[in-house]
Chains A and B, each alone.
Chain A
Amino acid sequence: MATLKKSSVLPGFNLTLGYTIGYLSLIVLIPLTAVFLKTASMSFDEFWQVVSADRVVASYKLSFGASFLAAGINAVFGLLLAWALVRYSFPGKKLVDALVDLPFALPTAVAGIALTALYARNGWLGQYLEPLGIKVAFTPLGVLVALVFIGLPFVVRTVQPILEDLDTELEEAAASLGAQRWQTFRHVTLPILLPALLTGFALAFARAVGEYGSVIFIAGNLPMVSEITPLMIITKLEQYDYVGATAIASVMLVFSFVLLLIINGLQAWTAKRTGRDR
């Protein structure tokens, strides 16, 4: 171990790193290996048949599509919200700022039943939307709404500190060179925010793809239409199809891991761009 690190006078490297890796292996890595080992008990053809079945593919499209869209919506409105919170004063600002983290602290099942109560045909919002021909609950749109909710804090919270650190001089320089506000934003501010914005987007996306609790209440769970991939895993499990469930799980796991590598790369980029040591 000691050869891995550069020398330091501080003690406890072997102990803490050893503990970290041991605990990580016990709680996360070994259990996750179970998924791949179980999947390995099927031949590649069988595996392919399960993970490329029409219903499963439809669920990927919904899970990844809706998550991507939800993260996109959050990127736009999250940026607006962060902008308003940092740059303007308005009544109730402190409260809004504090409540942004709510989706992170609120249990997903609670979010699920609350959203269903709002958007069902006889719900608070549903009763006005339905006559307009907009059905939210029990359609892919409902999935989208739930995913927007759970992903909301991520963009706001990644963009906000960067916005706060922004020097006013840059924009003043742009203005003195004759740039319009919009041009300044487009060519000066946005490029600085971009890495953080992308990080927030990717975080919201990663969280949304795996989300289960809030979605199943509002999704309607119709095969080929409104089944998310985690529900496919549950459905397989409930039919005693353990290998089928793990095959789909392994696809999702690989995806999560790749996404995380991208996110950590993005965060390194943010740090470099803004000189923030995070």
Chain B
Amino acid sequence: MQRKSLLVGLFAAGLLNFSLAQAQTTLLNVSYDPTRELYQEFNPAFTKYWKGKSGQEVVVKQSHGGSGKQARSVIDGVDADVVTLALAGDIDAIAEKARLLPADWQKRLPLASTPYTSTIVFLVRKGNPKGIKDWGDLVKPGVAVITPNPKTSGGAQWNYLAAWEFAKRTYGSEAKAKEFVANLYKNVPVLDSGARGSTITFVERGIGDVFLSWENEAFLAVKELGPDKFDIIVPSLSVLAQPPVAIVDKNVDKKGTRQVAQAYLEYLYSEAGQEIAARNYYRPTLDKVAKKYAKQFPAVTLFTVDEAFGGWSKAKEVHFKDGGVFDQIFTRR
């Protein structure tokens, strides 16, 4: 009997604890893989800023995963207040499939709702033993390329499109580009579902000669796991990656958190927010901060998905939907 009452007590304590946690003002930020460290630093800064400004205690909870997977969770009902995903297409999907925010969400914040940008670079083993200089080297026989699965990872879609655009410009046709990308994926030994999984495969498991990585992820790997192990190679051409942010209207209206959610996203554009982004190797968009950190980021010729592929929804439709170009490349092998 005594044990029974102990169990009941534990049970009640657990429930109580849970409901207490629910009672505070809580923001849920559903984000993609490589932003873990960024928001780990940004959230406490925002909490402090918001407390000073409004006196309100706010706790920011995080969820991370492959960008597509995260969008799926929000569509299925994770009550995210804000989404900070890898690409506009994933937030479009939330707007389209679940109608949780308006289709023109990208117009609501400055710079197409993109507070920080990034690009795709190559991470190679120290001394670059395979002599990898540019995209063209990736299809050489014997070069193992690590990149996540574009069907589930936002970063991988940027990789894929950057490779495609390079080939189109270099070899002059869509058909050649398809052949090039197909050859590139022949050199991929492991296809993780998210960018972070790929980083671990390359960095920790020692698989592959070159890792197509978010710039911030590459810098972080070098910093966390030793500059004596890896080099960063900047290709001749890369894509301007624009990971956007948005408020999920239906969720914030229900929870009454619109004001703080809005402030949270706006704080990303502030000088303090931009500093934090830059410290975590995201390219800041605020001129002042950009200048301060200019030396940190190598100069690359960048193209945007809008100019090269006519926007994300078109790129997704052609390349990444079931039966699209990516599937054709893989099932043909």
The answer on a CB contact under 8 Å between B152 and A238 is yes
A-B contact count (CB 8 A): 66
With A221-B149, A224-B330: A238-B68 Cβ-Cβ less than 8 Å: yes
The answer on a CB contact under 8 Å between B191 and A235 is no
The answer on a CB contact under 8 Å between B331 and A138 is no
Closest Cβ of chain B to A47, distance in Å, is 14
B65 to chain A: closest residue by CB: A238
CB neighbours (8 Å) of A191 from chain B are none
A137 CA to B152 CA, complexed, in Å: 21
Q: Select the residue from A54, A120, A223, A244 with max chain B CB neighbours within 10 A.
A: A223
The answer on a CB contact under 8 Å between B206 and A138 is no
Q: Is B172 an interface residue (CB 8 A)?
A: no
With A54-B331, A121-B205, A137-B205: A221-B193 Cβ-Cβ less than 8 Å: yes
Q: Is B190 an interface residue (CB 8 A)?
A: yes
Q: Is A97 an interface residue (CB 8 A)?
A: no
The answer on a CB contact under 8 Å between B333 and A224 is yes
Within 8 A of A (CB), among B252-272: none
The one of B69, B75, B330 that contacts A55, using a Cβ cutoff of 8 Å: B330
Task: Name the interface size band of chain B.
Answer: 20 to 34
Q: Is A241 an interface residue (CB 8 A)?
A: yes
With A235-B151, A238-B72, A240-B72: A222-B205 Cβ-Cβ less than 8 Å: no
Q: Is B99 an interface residue (CB 8 A)?
A: no
With A223-B191, A235-B151: A122-B206 Cβ-Cβ less than 8 Å: yes
User: What string of 1s and 0s marks CB contacts (under 8 Å) between B309-323 and chain A?
Assistant: 000000000000110
A240 CA to B189 CA, complexed, in Å: 26
A137 CA to B191 CA, complexed, in Å: 13
CB neighbours (8 Å) of A239 from chain B are 68, 72, 151-152, 321-322
Q: Is A237 an interface residue (CB 8 A)?
A: yes
Task: Name the interface size band of chain A.
Answer: 20 to 34
Q: Is B35 an interface residue (CB 8 A)?
A: no
User: What string of 1s and 0s marks CB contacts (under 8 Å) between B288-326 and chain A?
Assistant: 000000000000000000000000000000000110000
Q: Is A220 an interface residue (CB 8 A)?
A: yes
Within 8 A of B (CB), among A14-67: 53-55
With A221-B192, A222-B191, A224-B331: A120-B322 Cβ-Cβ less than 8 Å: no
The answer on a CB contact under 8 Å between B69 and A238 is yes
Q: Is B207 an interface residue (CB 8 A)?
A: yes
User: What string of 1s and 0s marks CB contacts (under 8 Å) between B83-98 and chain A?
Assistant: 0000000000100010
Q: Tell me what chain A mostly uses at the interface: helix, strand, loop, or mixed.
A: loop
CB neighbours (8 Å) of A55 from chain B are 327, 330-331
Q: Is B233 an interface residue (CB 8 A)?
A: no
Within 8 A of A (CB), among B51-76: 66, 68-69, 71-72, 75
Q: Is B251 an interface residue (CB 8 A)?
A: no
CB neighbours (8 Å) of B280 from chain A are none
A260 CA to B179 CA, complexed, in Å: 46
CB neighbours (8 Å) of A240 from chain B are 71-72, 75, 93, 97
The answer on a CB contact under 8 Å between B206 and A120 is yes
The answer on a CB contact under 8 Å between B207 and A241 is no
Q: Is B159 an interface residue (CB 8 A)?
A: no
Closest Cβ of chain B to A119, distance in Å, is 10
Q: Is B188 an interface residue (CB 8 A)?
A: yes
With A221-B192, A239-B68: A120-B330 Cβ-Cβ less than 8 Å: no
A72 CA to B254 CA, complexed, in Å: 55
A236 to chain B: closest residue by CB: B322
A53 CA to B188 CA, complexed, in Å: 22
Q: Is B274 an interface residue (CB 8 A)?
A: no
B207 to chain A: closest residue by CB: A121
A121 CA to B189 CA, complexed, in Å: 13
The answer on a CB contact under 8 Å between B327 and A138 is no
Closest Cβ of chain A to B43, distance in Å, is 26
Within 8 A of B (CB), among A132-184: 137-138
CB neighbours (8 Å) of A138 from chain B are 189-190, 201, 205, 207
Which residues on A are within 8 Å of B, measured CB to CB?
53-55, 116, 120-122, 137-138, 220-224, 235, 237-241, 244
Which residues on B are within 8 Å of A, measured CB to CB?
66, 68-69, 71-72, 75, 93, 97, 149, 151-152, 188-193, 201, 204-207, 321-322, 327, 330-331, 333
Top 7 A-B pairs, shortest CB-CB distance: A120-B205, A220-B190, A54-B331, A238-B69, A122-B206, A223-B330, A121-B206
A220-B189, A221-B149 are known; give 5 further A-B pairs, CB within 8 A.
A120-B207, A220-B191, A224-B331, A235-B151, A238-B151
